Chain A
């Protein structure tokens, strides 16, 4: 190994903070980029408020998802849980005249119940988390559609809209207060309670956790219940923010929240959790989405950007986990190996064929006939 020995202690010192440094660098990059391109509109106070308001929606869910992912799990049903509990709450308020003070706790408990069902399916029936929550996502979304049909439920009492978009005069919006409070509670749960400690232990080494007498299944269940409850809170915040809810609301919650957590340095392979990282991740994604809007990009690019951020950050963390980063002679050296050559030829064949077909189609193209 010919690496300079001086930077090793530095790297070792930085290692624990990499979770924060990653998203912070990206946030800084966005800030610098927007300073150069569009400072006037991006750095307005009202726009800062918008970013925070958007981020607040995802904070409770990112907090809960941090626990689920740290336990080597995943919850793909939070978007539907948010929609279904929001819809039921809306019906209770609009159709049955329930007080908001009662309807909101009911929605939270419904979320907890749906999380409990997820957790029981995973721990009792041994359905893998990916399939189990994906299937339950269909179930909850379907139930929401059955209940609400195409209806948009709108115009709620002031209390609910205050929760979703109210502003403390001269200070930050109320949902931001709620969001940050849940993140702080999450940090406390992670570092100071049995639940948090066992969450890390289960994700780090499930067999060891079992051997030391930790009830693995019970603590997994807790994480899913927390996730369901926070998803319902997300649904409530969304309903309040838009002053409307429908069955197809919150379609992008799942990936957005998972992206925020993963970007924040929580490992998809379990055991490594960073609540501060999840907070930074949520902030980063909201800033990114807002930047896209400010730059007048089409809304649909959001999905592309989220996907790219997930893939690149997971790849980056995996690379940083490797002990021997320069042993193989770097990236391009891998292409020179026989196996790399075969992969290269295979990729080239696919791309080449695609280009050839496009060319062929272009050469023999007739008159366009618009479908409209």
Chain B
């Protein structure tokens, strides 16, 4: 493969005396889905929080497109084109989908020198982004977000991340955890769409079925370390499970 789009090298993160990550490497390419799997406490969340600028690494460096980068905050990471969709989705349920999609980043128009929210344009943009990038059409854009299904809410949260034109790496934390089978299938389809558009998608999941269905490579974390990266096509559930629980090492 070519040069990875995003690369983490020798990342170590300590919280006081606890070492959450020890010398972890990670590479993700444009147009691929990299799954990160591992048991609870394996350091998956810490790793992506370092990647998205929420935490700063104790040691190690990160490269984006071959250039060394460091993020002081989550906003820095977003500005560089790395964003995340959280498990909780971070949606305000009482606002409509358009308001949620532009939350914190509203479109305005100026009337007599006073900036006002441009609700009309935000709505048409939401419709466009949902349709063009995700292939999702909501029944009604007027209803509050709480009335949408789990998958639709997910779509709105993803749309918020992909609306940023410079987005290159999208991290998704357990996107299918709270979804039924049908919604899960739809979300996996969304991930395929994003991949086809040339994004590097990093997917954290506990569900190996989903991981095998959608990912290109699987990065396995165990006790704060990377214990292996396998090509999904050349691997199977057995091997990955073995890596997760550490059976391979013992054997």
Contacts and interface: CB of A to CB of B under 8 A. Distances in A.
Main secondary structure of the interface of B (DSSP, over half): loop
A122 B90 CA distance: 24
Interface stretch (B91-99, B123-131, B164-172, B224-232): B91-99
Contacts of A214: 103-104
Nearest to A267: B94
A271 B106 contact: no
B103 A272 contact: no
A185 to B, nearest CB: 12
A204 B117 contact: no
Given A211-B86, A212-B103, A212-B104, A201 B92 contact: yes
Contacts of A272: 94
A192 B117 CA distance: 5
Interface residues of A, number: 21
B72 interface: no
A209 interface: yes
Contacts of B92: 200-201, 204-205, 208-209, 271
B90 A200 contact: no
Nearest to A194: B106
A39 B104 CA distance: 52
A47 interface: no
Interface residues of B, number: 21
A204 B90 contact: no
Interface string A257-293: 0000000000000011000000000000000000000
B88 interface: yes
B245 interface: no
Contacts of B119: 191-192
A12 to B, nearest CB: 8
A193 interface: yes
9 contacts: A200-B94, A201-B92, A204-B94, A207-B88, A208-B90, A209-B92, A211-B86, A211-B90, A213-B104
Given A200-B94, A204-B95, 18 more contacts: A191-B117, A192-B116, A192-B117, A200-B92, A201-B95, A204-B94, A205-B90, A205-B93, A208-B91, A209-B103, A209-B104, A211-B74, A211-B86, A213-B74, A213-B104, A213-B105, A271-B92, A271-B94
